[in-house]
Chain A
Amino acid sequence: MQSSEIIGWFADIGLVDRPTVGGKGGSLGELTRAKIPVPAGFVVKTAAFERFIAALEKEDPIRPKVEALGSQEMERITAVSRELRERLENALLPEEVNSQILASFVELCGPGNNLPLAVRSSATTEDAADASFAGLQDTYLWVIGLEETLKYVRSCWASLYSVPSIAYRRKHGLPESGVAMAVVVQGMVNACKAGVMFTRSPQTGDRSVVTIEAAWGLGSSVVSGEVTPDRFVVAKITGEISVREINDKHIRHLPAPNGGVGEFETPEEMRREPCLSDAEILALRDVARKIERHYGRPQDIEWAIDHSGRILLLQSRPETVWSAKQSAPVAKPAEHPMQHVMRIFGGRR
């Protein structure tokens, strides 16, 4: 199955394709092209969503209904949301969309079709540094089989019509015609440990460090805040590890016996053990530097380390909090270098 108007394999897409593959999809494509290890996968592009909506709108309008809502009318928003989500989650996919996803699914999973997958929404407005939609869309982990996959692709699409999503768009007056959703379908990492990292300090904004948060199992426990992760601070350039904060990681997320992900108690002997070795911290730093260099700006990265010790990247997006601040220069050049010494000799100012 080649990339097409409907399907985009990671290797064939990049950030510039964001309008058709969404922010998450574009970012995964970009990472793949930059030779940064990312679990293999493809994006169900926005064209698939457009065709799906177009087919549905032939029966009954969708977008005009949303646009008719006032931003304060929470009751009406809730009612419309419930109605639309139910329609999207239960409708059949247009034939061509269905067959292309099927072909890609088979290619990704190989024989047996039972490779665990992550199905993740990838909105076209998401990850824009100025209007972060992050967290407003859904991610489904450890999805097994075609039926489940298709179900969650539809769930992702439907999440565009969740109450907060609609409310957000109404509040900002965003046109519905511009709203589209791509969906990432990607192999799942059987993570031994996972977490997030920032290529600057969230506390001080220092760009010379990488801050890593890590816990046992899948990274979802860290992202959701259900566990207090270990925290490491490593100097980006020298590799000095200046902070090693080891916390009680009482639970971990692991694949559940019946599909999906469950929360399990961490075995006693692992709870207070550091979940990363120095070598792993340094390897993560290398990856973080590579990604930041590639994008040319600070990044917020999700990563995992599988049972064979391989580091895999799940997501990278621009860091928004510090980057949004107007950074005033620490010092301005002086007419002559020696004038700078007045900072030290001039006394407190």
Chain B
Amino acid sequence: MNETATMKGFPVPSSLKVAPGTERTQAAYPYYMQFTKDDDQRFWFYNSMHFPEPMCVFDMVTAEAAYVALGSANTRIHCLPTTLGIDCRIINGRVYIGGNGVTDPAEIERRTKEFQQRAFYYYANWERLVAQWKKKMIALIHEAEALPKPGLPDFEPIEHVHAGRGIASNHYLLDVYQKTLEGYFRMWQHHFEFLLLGYGAYLTFFDFCKKAFPEISDQTVARMVAGLEADIFRPDDELRRLAKCAINFGVDNEFGTGRSPDEILASMKQSGEKGKAWLKELEVSRDPWFNINVGDGFYHYHRAWNDDLSMPFAALPGYIANAKNGDRLERQTEKLMDERKKLIADYRELLETEEDRAAYDQMIELAHRVFPYVEGHKFYCEHWYTNLFFNKIREFGALLAQYGFFPDAEDVFQLSHYELEAAIVDLMTAWSNGSVPRGPAVWPGVVRERKAAIAEWAKQDTPPALGPVPDIIDDPAIVMLWGITRENLDKWLSAGAQPNSNEIKGVAASNGVVEGVARVVKSAEEIDRLHHGDILVCQVTNPSWTPVFQKIAAAVSDIGGSMSHAAIIAREYGLPAVVGTGTATQKIKDGQRIRVDGGRGVVTILV
């Protein structure tokens, strides 16, 4: 099987054509992210885990900031022995990435020495450094929150003159913009400070379990490590709490079907003390826990719950109904922790030697120490901070729209971050000189063209990988973060070879067999199409999707491993799940009946 796979390989980058009519939009991405002929020699894969939809030109800033930070952590800070950073390319709006490995034994040796001084220091001082990290992150968030809303007065306020400030408001446009961008790049540096080390410790335990128990399932190892107490689970917990409050205060009937969040809020306000009490509880939850967005924080249009209450409010009726049916609404963390403890002890008992048991104890202890960071950092980085970032850019969008640069504030995301800075300087210049900005003559056409390009790209199928298949995937970063293994690539290749096969294989993520109607959800905006009992088929899920798990019967995703969000939540809800299928959203048609066998990792299309 391996041999045929090698012979087939994936298409080389140069064989991909930019879709006709979208060339100028493609050219708007930075030159260092365009494929060149040299890239044909390397293996690339489509990062649909983080970027499942075509990227608006501005949104590529996330890929840029993230890979700069990931690379510096691996290459220069912790000096991972065998792996450097990840190169990133974009074509037709799709982000492809490829890892840089170290193969020279002398260099690995040199880096190993450095790694042991650096990474080991982090492991040894993990709790202190994580506590310090959290302080840094909160400070960074407050810094971003403190940035003023960009605006241009007719005349400078007289107080500025009396104070002798001597700097006009237009300067602060550039200042705030650059600080916004700088903060975002800094946030990503924080994001990767611990991440690889954390995943590495987890994978160490994982690897041990796979050797000691060759037939253990990925999800069992994941259950031994997962904590479920991380901050990323809090938003969902808050919804359960609010559901209970609504019942206790007697305002649960406000959440009838067909009412918008605004209507509900208005009606609550008018319903006297009870409604006001609930609204007070809502405010408690919102700051900061509704700073979670409906995506993974990688697209500007994945709005935070705080900015769009429809997602959390859509989930409330389900939680209220569950509570009335006598379900304990709190996640049964204690019970889950007891189960975890028992699972660990039971597997320990099966180990053959005292030495194994001692090594097992050490590895699980390390995994438990590091994992809360791995689970928890997302709330602060990808959600809270990222929401602030995109909202600040949105404020610039509103200002530019006010000056006619484009019709709508949201259009700002069609400009690259370089172009946006140019537009800001354009506006600064016009404002200071009393002349007319040039942007309004340039950007509306560009924005239209780019929106059309994104729509065109969204229709196209995307090869999951490009270039020659490596003999072995030996890059711990690629394996850990994307679950890309040689075995997976072979599965993807063979899936392409049998387009008529009704079986799709993936990672067995959560046990159980269920048949039902597939709801292929390509973006977070389509979530409300899910009905009770549907099977969610998506590219990737993220924590803000958690509330939909109360109504679905099973989950299937293109990307993800046994520790991915969908896997963790599916196990918690006891739903079958198959993740990392590579092609489910392309092969399964919306409305088809499918069978999900979460124990075997197989999805069958029932004709």
Q: Is B350 a contact partner of A330 (Cβ separation < 8 A)?
A: no
Q: Does A112 contact B (CB under 8 A)?
A: no
Q: How many B residues, CB 8 Å from partner? A: 52
Q: Check A337/B208 contact, CB under 8 A, given A208-B350, A235-B220.
A: no
Question: Complex Cα distance A334/B355, Å?
Answer: 10
Q: Does A341 contact B (CB under 8 A)?
A: yes
Q: Is A341 a contact partner of B201 (Cβ separation < 8 A)?
A: yes
Residues 315-337 of A contacting B (Cβ, < 8 Å)? 327, 329-334, 336-337
Q: Is B353 a contact partner of A337 (Cβ separation < 8 A)?
A: no
Q: Check A207/B350 contact, CB under 8 A, given A237-B343, A344-B200, A347-B81.
A: yes
Least CB distance from B506 to A in Å reads 14
Q: Is B362 a contact partner of A337 (Cβ separation < 8 A)?
A: yes
Of the candidates B204, B358, B472, B476, which one forms a contact with A333 in the assembled complex, judged by CB atoms under 8 Å apart? B358
Q: Does A338 contact B (CB under 8 A)?
A: yes
Q: Does A65 contact B (CB under 8 A)?
A: no
Q: Check A329/B353 contact, CB under 8 A, given A207-B213, A237-B343, A337-B363.
A: yes
Q: Does A236 contact B (CB under 8 A)?
A: yes
Of the candidates A244, A340, A345, which one forms a contact with B366 in the assembled complex, judged by CB atoms under 8 Å apart? A340
Chain A residue numbers with a CB within 8 Å of B361 are 333
| Residue in chain A with minimal CB distance to B353 | A329
Chain A residue numbers with a CB within 8 Å of B229 are none
Q: Is A343 a contact partner of B207 (Cβ separation < 8 A)?
A: yes
Q: Is B359 a contact partner of A332 (Cβ separation < 8 A)?
A: yes
Question: Complex Cα distance A320/B102, Å?
Answer: 45
Q: Check A206/B214 contact, CB under 8 A, given A244-B600, A345-B82, A346-B82.
A: yes
Q: Does B474 contact A (CB under 8 A)?
A: yes
Q: Does B9 contact A (CB under 8 A)?
A: no
Least CB distance from A341 to B in Å reads 5
Q: Is A208 a contact partner of B208 (Cβ separation < 8 A)?
A: no
Of the candidates A238, A244, A331, which one forms a contact with B343 in the assembled complex, judged by CB atoms under 8 Å apart? A238
Q: Is B119 a contact partner of A341 (Cβ separation < 8 A)?
A: yes
| Residue in chain B with minimal CB distance to A278 | B513
Chain A residue numbers with a CB within 8 Å of B360 are 331
Q: Check A238/B220 contact, CB under 8 A, given A206-B213, A207-B352, A329-B353.
A: yes
Residues 241-295 of A contacting B (Cβ, < 8 Å)? 241-244
Question: Complex Cα distance A344/B216, Å?
Answer: 19
Question: Complex Cα distance A62/B567, Å?
Answer: 69
Q: Is B217 a contact partner of A240 (Cβ separation < 8 A)?
A: yes
Q: Is B123 a contact partner of A242 (Cβ separation < 8 A)?
A: no
Q: Is B215 a contact partner of A346 (Cβ separation < 8 A)?
A: no
28 contacts between A and B (CB under 8 A): A206-B215, A237-B350, A240-B511, A242-B217, A242-B508, A242-B599, A327-B352, A327-B353, A329-B359, A330-B208, A330-B211, A331-B208, A331-B211, A331-B359, A333-B361, A334-B359, A337-B123, A338-B123, A338-B124, A338-B366, A340-B204, A340-B208, A341-B204, A343-B208, A345-B119, A345-B476, A347-B81, A347-B102
15 extra A-B contacts, CB within 8 A, seeds A237-B350, A330-B211, A340-B208: A206-B214, A207-B350, A208-B213, A209-B215, A237-B347, A240-B511, A242-B217, A329-B355, A331-B363, A338-B366, A340-B359, A342-B116, A344-B200, A347-B81, A347-B108
